[in-house]
Each structure stands twice: as structure tokens, then as C-alpha cells.
Chains A and B, each alone.
Chain A
Amino acid sequence: MAETRYTKDHEYIRIEGDTGTVGITDYAQGQLGDVVFVELPTVGKAVAKGGEAAVVESVKAASEVYAPVSGEVVAVNSDLEAAPGTVNEDPAGKGWFVKLKLTDAAELEGLMSEAQYQDYVKTL
């Protein structure tokens, strides 16, 4: 069964086996505003926990999407290049950025659960 974990920087990672799908939360897309451009890494790139996994740009500003855990990029959502607004419309679904093959599953323990993340957002 898939489990989703969250960072304080508002990325999520949905775990299925040894891979995780990374995106930004609904809260994050709301804060960003209309997304107009997404820069994705190349498949095969190794990213470290906290390193840059993608760049998302709104009308106002550019923001980095950090990797919640370390891993190798095994897929990118190239649909976002033509339809960056998908990040606003369906952040938890079709608006994902990259899939990572996890290097160290133990890193997931430092991330928040769904309930913990919702509590965290309430404090912002």
C-alpha cells in the first residue's frame, strides 16, 4: 500500500516499493500561485536528500523543489513542460515532478506523516 510522507518545505513523496513519487502539496501550490514553468532533471541523475529535484516558476518567482530523500531519478513528468498549470490543478496526482529510486529507505523516518503535516500546516 502506498504511503505518503511530507517535508517542512511542502514536498511530498508517495512511496511504492523502493520508489517514491515527488511533488508539492496543495498548500504549496496555493502559496506559489499560477505555475508557468517547470524545470525537470534528467532521468538517471542522483539527487541527495535536500538537493534540487526540480525548479517550479510562478508568474512572480522561481522556487526549488527539494528531494525529500536521496535517490536516483527514474522518471520525470514531462507532461508538465506543456501544461505547467497541472501543478496547481492536481498537485497530489497528475502534477507530480519526479520518481526517485530510494537510496536509503531509513531517510523516510525523518519525514512527517499525513496527519503530522496537516497539523504543521495549521501552524503556518
Chain B
Amino acid sequence: MAAEAAEFDAASAPAPLKTPLHSRHVALGARMVPFAGYDMPVQYPSGILTEHNWTREKAGLFDVSHMGQAFLVGPDHETTARALEALIPADILNLAPGKQRYSQLLNEEGGILDDLMVTRSIDLDEDGALYLVVNAACKAEDYAHIEARLPPNVKLIRAEHRGLVALQGPGAEAALSAIAPEAAAMGFMSSRTMKVAGIKANVSRSGYTGEDGYEISADARRIGEIWDTLLLDATVRPIGLGARDSLRLEAGLCLYGHDIDTTTSPVEAALTWSIQKRRREEGGFPGAARIQKEFAEGVARVRVGLLPEGKAPAREGAEIATPDGEVVGKVTSGGFGPTLNAPCAMGYVAKAHSAPGTQLDLIVRGRPLPAVVAPMPFVPNRYKR
């Protein structure tokens, strides 16, 4: 028996980094794997299916401390927002205090260097600061890229002293409000500073599962207490990277390096919702000429959802063909959706074959596997609007 395709890339770094929660994962019996230079839990003893279903039904707790947390700090919101807008296509100038947005760092060709979350603090004394969360595997390059392009009065401050956990699922609100009552009233994509189990934390109502939930950032020396306190709640269980991946796939969310990369634009990636009207009209971000042209004239290929018939999953790299055998695209993420109880995938296909309902074949082990183009998310989002 031999694995054909490992889901998680082995890092080339000789000594993997550890998050502040590493010893807790080991004590919980997690299977640890190298991921983005860190030694991370891929699953706990209950296994990926159980963890996935627990998150959809109750509340799952994820260690995402490997992700890059940083602050962009300038003299006022407008100065900092404009500095960041020179690098990403989202409207940050009009981002209200206490709100966050999803965006992408773009290269000069409009390709995606990374995707990230941008949060404006609700606290007026922090006006001019933006909180960024970037992918672990990209953070060193992202920071270098950002720093090289900032005006002299805006600085990037790495928040390496912080840990980050995500609490996701329909039980997340009850579990977090029990130790941080202010969390209950928050709306989706908003952020507040509050005490969580008595510890100062930045809490946002967002996540990567399609479920309601929160991300909680706190001092790395104290994040373990927040983790431990949340796990005292019988509805909360630790969830590894394996279920994180199957949850985000069912939610139709992109994984950087797989579904989006420097060769894909946000328009091709069907992320146009994350580029607000003012930015589409004004441009002023890297690759704006290409992206504005794509808005006006359309794209040659686009990211779509794919539902294979039957039970066989199609994995990343599988070719997508028409029933006549013409190759029209490639799968970028695919697997088994535990909530769907069926395989699901996403990939890029030529525009002419991208309409929902289009019949296509996914080439798995040399044989065509019939599939249909389907809207995403595959499992409905349950965000708290």
C-alpha cells in the first residue's frame, strides 16, 4: 500500500516550528505532520470524519497559530488604508471600525501572491492600525513584499508573540459567550477586543469552515489557557488540519497554493465579490489593468464546483474533460465531503463549460469519472449575518 498523493506538503525545513499549543496536541494524542514549516495536528484520535461532523453539529476548536499575524501601522486610517490598497484590490478606505474583509495580495500581473484577512480595529485610539492574517506558508514572502512597498510613515509589525485559535460550528456562540459574553452580539466579519476567560484577546466572527464561529487572537503565553478553558465545554472538541480541509472544501473556500496562486487572478478564481465597486472602477492595485479587463470582457477560464457521480473522489491534479474527451481544465482541490456524504471538488474550466449543470468528466486513474458543474458552497453557509 502506498499513498499516491499526500494532502499535506512535507516542509523542507529541517526542524519544524511549534505553535504555543504544540504540547497540548501531543498530549491529546494528535497525529502530527509537517505543514508550512510547522509540526501540526492533522487529526486527533477520533479521526477526520468524526471531527468534521462534530464541527458541523457542535463546535470545533482549531489551532491556527501557524498563520501569520501582523499589524500595519500608520498615522491615521486613510494613510494606512491607502498603503494597503496599493497591494490588494479590496476597499479598505471605507472599511468601518470593527469590521474585516477578505482580500488578496496581488503581483503586477494580477496573480495572487496570497489571500488574507484585513481587520480595522473598533478602538479609536488604534486608528491607523490594520490587523492582517496571512497564510503560514507565505508569511515570510508576504511580509518582505509588503515592507518593500510601504510609504515611510507606515510600518509592518509582525505579531509573532500571538497565538490564534478558531472556534467553529453552531455551538461556537454559546461556548464562547460563556467565557466572553460580548462575543454573542457580534455579527459576521466583525472584530472586537475583549476578555476571553479573563485574558485580553482580539475576537473576530469569521472562519474557514462555512459555519458560524470565531477566531481568537491572544498572547502566545496565554492562548493555551483560552484553549484549555474552551475544551472544558462538553460541546467543544479539538479539530485537526484534515477536517479543516474537508470543511473548507464543502464550503467552497479556496486553499492558497492549490485553488489560487500566482497564475490565477481573483476574477478567474470567482472571488469578484471581494473586490468592491470603487476599486473595480478606480483600479490602483497591482495588475489592475488585467483585472479591469477581465471584469469588462470576461475570463477564459473560471473556478467552479464539481460534483462527481457515484462515490469515487477526484483529487487535485485530475484533468477535466468534456464528454467528447476534450481537456478543458484541471481539478485544484477534491476529496470526500463528509457532510455531503459524497465526493466534491473544485477546479478551473474553460468559460464555455462553466455553467452549473454542465456535464464533464474528471479523469481519475486514467478513466473518465462523470461529474456535473455545481454552485458552491456545496454545504450551505451558516454565517451569523
- A-to-B contact residues, CB < 8 Å: 9-11, 24, 28, 33-34, 36-37, 39, 55-66, 81, 84
Considering the chains assembled together, what is the distance between the CA atoms of A104 and B204 in angstroms?
A: 64
Instruction: Confirm or deny: B161 has a beta carbon within 8 angstroms of a beta carbon on chain A.
Output: no
Please report the number of residue pairs spanning A and B whose Cβ atoms sit closer than 8 angstroms: 72
Question: Given contacts A11-B1, A24-B1, A66-B1, is CB(A59)–CB(B336) below 8 Å?
Answer: yes
Classify chain B: how many residues form its interface, as a range: 20 to 34
Contact of A60 among B50, B242, B311 (CB under 8 A): B242
> Does the CB pair B4–A62 fall under 8 Å?
yes
| Chain A residue contacts of B243, Cβ below 8 A | 59
> Does the CB pair B49–A34 fall under 8 Å?
yes
* Min CB gap B341→A, angstroms: 9
Instruction: Confirm or deny: B5 has a beta carbon within 8 angstroms of a beta carbon on chain A.
Output: yes
> Does the CB pair B48–A59 fall under 8 Å?
yes
Q: Which residue of B lies closest to A25 (CB)?
A: B1
Considering the chains assembled together, what is the distance between the CA atoms of A63 and B315 in angstroms?
A: 12
> Does the CB pair B1–A28 fall under 8 Å?
yes
| Chain A residue contacts of B245, Cβ below 8 A | 60
* Min CB gap B317→A, angstroms: 11
Q: Which residue of A lies closest to B50 (CB)?
A: A34
Considering the chains assembled together, what is the distance between the CA atoms of A11 and B1 in angstroms?
A: 7
| Chain A residue contacts of B311, Cβ below 8 A | 36-37, 81, 84
> Does the CB pair B335–A60 fall under 8 Å?
yes
| Chain B residue contacts of A36, Cβ below 8 A | 49, 311, 313, 336, 338
Considering the chains assembled together, what is the distance between the CA atoms of A65 and B8 in angstroms?
A: 21
* Min CB gap A1→B, angstroms: 26
* Min CB gap B249→A, angstroms: 10
Instruction: Confirm or deny: B160 has a beta carbon within 8 angstroms of a beta carbon on chain A.
Output: no
Instruction: Confirm or deny: B7 has a beta carbon within 8 angstroms of a beta carbon on chain A.
Output: yes
* Known interface pairs A59-B49, A59-B335, A66-B1; 11 further A-B residue pairs with C-beta atoms within 8 A, sorted by A's residue number: A9-B2, A33-B47, A34-B50, A36-B49, A55-B365, A60-B7, A60-B48, A61-B4, A64-B1, A64-B2, A81-B311
| Chain A residue contacts of B42, Cβ below 8 A | 60
Q: Which residue of B lies closest to A24 (CB)?
A: B1
| Chain A residue contacts of B104, Cβ below 8 A | none
Considering the chains assembled together, what is the distance between the CA atoms of A44 and B6 in angstroms?
A: 31
> Does the CB pair B336–A37 fall under 8 Å?
yes
> Does the CB pair B336–A57 fall under 8 Å?
yes
Considering the chains assembled together, what is the distance between the CA atoms of A9 and B3 in angstroms?
A: 10
Contact flags B49-67 to A (C-beta < 8 A → 1, else 0) = 1101000000000000000
Instruction: Confirm or deny: B312 has a beta carbon within 8 angstroms of a beta carbon on chain A.
Output: yes
> Does the CB pair B1–A61 fall under 8 Å?
no
> Does the CB pair B336–A65 fall under 8 Å?
no
Q: Which residue of A lies closest to B242 (CB)?
A: A60
